[in-house]
Chain A
C-alpha cells in the first residue's frame, strides 16, 4: 500500500468518526440544543468530509457534501432558522452522506441517484428558502492598516540597487513592474525581498527603489510602507505568471505590470504615472486601485461608506502623504467598505476571550493496531494460566503456604491480575459506537412502518470489551426493529389508547454486578399473551393444555420458529426470530430476559459479561469432570442435610434454603455424565441465582477451589453445547467446562424433569 492509499484509508477511518460526530450532534439539535457550537460542529464534520473527499477526487461525495455544507453555513450564520423541519432534513442528509461515503469506499453500490438528488434539492430549498440565492459579497477592499514589524531586506542579494539601467533590445520580451507595498503587507509577514527573489527566479531582473517618500526619522512609522520598487524583468513569459508572484499581496500593495519596451523611462514614482498612459490590463483596474488609494486617507479619519466608495471618475490623486496615513492603532479591519449593495453580515469577530482562554490539556492518546493489543491479551492470558500451573505445582510439592516461594507466588498472582485488568482496559470501549448507529435505523424503520418514534438513549459511555461492543450491534438492531414493528402501535391506535402519537423506544446501557446490561424498552402495547400462546400452540411449540405463567408465555417468543407478525413484514420478519437473538447473546456469555405490561410496553434486558477473556469461577467436580461455575452467579454453598430434602411428586428433589424450597439440580445427571443420581447428602449444593432472579441449588460432588480462568470459546474450537458457556485450561493443563447457570436452571431442568415440556419442545 503506497502512502497515498494509506492516507485514503485514514480518510475513510476519519469519515467514520466524523459521521458518528455528525449523528450525535444532530441528535443534540433534535433535542433542542441548537446553540452555535453544536451547529458549528456539524458544519465542521461535513466540511472535513468534503475536504478529504476533494483530495481524493471523490466527485459524487464532494458534490453532496458541498450542498450539505452550504446549508450548514447558512444555519451557523443565523441566516436560516434551525427548525424541526430543517433538522429532520439534516438527519436524512446525514444518512445519504453516509451512503455516499460507503459507496466511495466501494463497500456499497453507488447511491441511488434519485434519492441523493431529492435530498440535494431539499437542502438547496432550505438554503435559499425559495428566494433567489444570495449574492456572494466580495469583501476585498479591506484597507485597514495594521502596524507590524517591517524589515528592509538588506540581506537579500538584490541585483543593482543603483541607477536604473537602460532597457535592452530584447525588452519586448519582458515586464516592468511597479510595486508599492502598503504597511499592511508586512503585517501579514509578506516580505518585499522575498517577492523580488521570486521574480528573480522568473528571469534576470533589474531593481530600483524610490525612497523619496521616506519621511525624516522623527516622523517615520517603522511599520509602514514607504518604498516603491520598479522591477524590470527580462523573461518571455505571460503577464499572468508575473502576477501570480503577487497573488498573496495584491490587495495590500499598489501594483502595475506593463510590457517592457517602447523605450519608456523608468518611472520612479508610481502615483505620478497617469493611468491613461499605462497599457490597460484586463486583470487589474488601475482606476479602481487609485480610487481606493485616494479613499484611504479620508477613510482613516472619517470612515463613512461614501468616502470609500469607488470614485466614478478617478482623478490622478496625489499620493496620500505618509504622514496623512495614520496607521490604525488596532489591528482590526476598518469598517468594511462595502462598495456593492447591502453589506454582508459582518463575520463574527473572534472573541478575545477565546484567544486568551486557559488551555485545557487535551487527553493524550496513541493509536495502536488492534492486532498488537490482541497479541498482548493472548500472551497475558497464557501468563495467567502459566501462573496458575506454577502455583499448583508449588502446592503439590508440599511447600508450606508461608514459605518464601509461596508468598512470592502470591504477589506474582496479584501482579498478573493487575496486568490482565490493565490490558483489558485497553480494549474497553464505550458502547457509543453501537448506539450511534441506531438513530438512523429507528428513523428508517419508523418510516417504513409509518409510525412516529422517538429514540432515547442513555449510558452511551458505558464501557465494555471491544469484541462485546462489536457483537452487540446485531442483537440490538434486531430488538429495536422488533420494538418498533411489533411493540409500538400506529399513531391512530396510540391516540385511541390515550397515548401520544409518538412512541418512545429507550435504549440504555449500564454496569450491574460486573456485567453490562442493555435495556431496550418501548411504551407500546405490550405482549399479547393470549395471542402468543395461541400461536405457540398452533405451531406445536407447546402442548395445548400446558399451564403457563405469564413469564413463561413471554419467553415463548424466544422459541425457534416463533413469529407473531400476522403479515411477515419487511422489517422484522426476515426469518430471523428472537431465537437467533437469544442464541447470539448466549454465545457471548449473555442472557436475555423480557418483562411486559399489557398496554404499557415491553422491556428486553440483555446482560453480558464485560469481557470475553477472563472469568472468576468456582472449580467443582461432578462425576470425574472438572467444571467451573461462574462466581457472579453463586449465592452460597452448603452441604445438604437429609432433613432439608424433599421430593416433589416423589421425583423432583427440592432443598430447604433459608425457609424456602429451591429445586436441587444434579448437574452430573442433567449433563449426562452419569445415569444414577448421587445421594444429595454426600455432595455439595451450590445455590445460584439466574439473571432473572430465579434461584436454584446445583448439586456437585465436591468444590475444589476458586480461581480466575481464561475463557476459551467452545463454539470456535468444538461446537455449542447446551448448558455449557465456554471452556478453560486449568493449571494442570486439563480442559474444564464452564457452566451456563441460567440454561441449567431454567431450560434444561424443565426439559429433563417435566414430561409435558419435553414433548412440546
Chain B
C-alpha cells in the first residue's frame, strides 16, 4: 500500500520540491502550510510520515511537533524536520520536542527519500 507523507512548510517552493521528490518515489503526499494547518490536516487525514519545516508563521515546527506528540494517535508517527544547515541547537530542540530525525536543506531527493524510508514503519 502506498504510504502517505504529510509535508508542512510555508514555502510553496519547498512544498513543490518535496512533492516532486516524494511522488517520484511512490509516496502519496498531502500538504500543509504552517503548524496549525499541519495539526488540522494530520488530525483529519492522518499520515504515515510527517516532514516539517521549523520557521513558519502562526505555529512553528517545534510547536507543531509538540502538538503532534500530544495527540495519542500521532505520538509514534515518525516526524522529520527540515533544517537549513546542520544547526546543532535546532536539532536538539526539535529532538526535545519529539522529532524523529532531520533532513538538511537543500536536500538531495535521494537522501530525502532514504530518510523517509528509514523512519517509515
Interface residues of A (CB under 8 A from B): 3-4, 6-7, 10-11, 13-14, 41, 43-44, 47-48, 50-52, 54-57, 136-140, 142, 144, 146, 148-149, 151, 186-191, 194, 198, 245, 247-248, 251-252, 331, 333, 344, 347, 350, 354-355, 357, 359, 362
Contact = CB atoms under 8 A, between A and B. Distances in A.
B101 A149 contact: no
Closest 9 A/B residue pairs (Cβ): A248-B101, A54-B106, A11-B13, A55-B106, A52-B13, A350-B63, A333-B96, A139-B92, A189-B100
Query: Max chain A CB contacts within 10 Å: which of B11, B13, B92?
Result: B13
Nearest to B72: A149
B119 interface: yes
B57 interface: yes
A190 B101 contact: yes
Contacts, number: 135
Nearest to A52: B13
Contacts of A350: 60, 62-63, 66, 97
Contacts of A355: 59, 63, 66-67, 70
B12 interface: yes
Contacts of B10: 44, 48
Given A44-B56, A48-B11, A350-B66, A10 B16 contact: yes
Contact of A41 (B11, B57, B67): B57
Contact of A139 (B55, B89, B120, B121): B89
Contact of B37 (A137, A188, A362): A362
A556 to B, nearest CB: 50
Given A7-B16, A189-B75, A50 B84 contact: yes
Nearest to A8: B13
A491 to B, nearest CB: 39
A139 B89 CA distance: 6
Given A142-B92, A142-B96, A194-B118, A189 B12 contact: no
Interface size class of B (residues with CB under 8 A): 35 or more
B33 interface: yes
A222 to B, nearest CB: 13
A126 to B, nearest CB: 21
A188 B92 CA distance: 12
A12 to B, nearest CB: 9
22 contacts: A47-B84, A48-B14, A54-B106, A55-B105, A136-B88, A136-B89, A137-B89, A139-B88, A142-B92, A144-B96, A146-B98, A151-B76, A187-B69, A188-B98, A189-B76, A190-B101, A190-B119, A191-B121, A248-B118, A344-B89, A350-B62, A355-B70
Contacts of A347: 89, 93
A248 B102 contact: yes
Nearest to A139: B92
Interface in B68-121: 69-70, 75-79, 84, 88-89, 92-93, 95-102, 105-107, 118-121
Given A10-B12, A55-B17, A355-B70, 7 more contacts: A55-B107, A140-B88, A151-B76, A189-B100, A189-B119, A248-B118, A359-B39
Contact of A247 (B13, B37, B57, B101): B101
A14 B11 contact: yes
Given A7-B16, A194-B118, A362-B37, A54 B98 contact: no
Nearest to A332: B96
Contacts of B12: 10, 13-14
A246 B119 CA distance: 11
